Amino acid sequence: MAPRAVTSKELGPTLGMYSPGMVAPAGEIVVVAGQVGMDGGGRLVGPGDVAAQTRQTFANIEKVLRAAGCGMRDVVRFQTFLTYASDIDPFMRARREVFPGYFPDGVYPPNTLLVVSRLVQPELLVEIEAMAVKAAKASAPAARPRAAANARKASRSRRAPKRR
């Protein structure tokens, strides 16, 4: 079962592509450290271009999630850090470009967006953290200890008696 969006009739419409809340089934929590717009070679994608950095950042998040055995549709929360308030609109446009591919059902995870004074390197304009829930694998129920012991006793009593 995939995470599902939660909202309230008492809330107004959201201010972007996100859900007010998310309910996830039991499973493993996957925490993705803040990702930035660096490619696999460690080079900044789109210097000075928050939209290009945003697209690369989401691609990097997806790579981490795949390595953990899940995907973007398992994300239950994003937290976004921008270094300039003026980058909010281009950031939102980049999300509108990539989100339909990641979330084709139109259900988007909650997202908190913060404007901060700086990221770890001054040329970075956006950093995004993610939290996902990897579905629990169904496993065979463990045998109850008492039932297993009783089964061993019954098995021994059915054996042929030892000859002397």
**Domain residue ranges of the chain, discontinuous segments joined by +:** 4-139
Structural class in CATH, domain 4-139 = alpha beta
* Cβ count near 66 (within 10 Å): 11
Q: Which of 100, 107, 42 is nearest to 74 (CA)?
A: 107
* Average pLDDT value for residue range 59-77: 95
**Per-residue pLDDT, 147:** 54
Residues found in the chain = 164
Confidence (pTM): 0.78
**Tell me: the pLDDT tens digits for 53-64?**
999 999 999 999
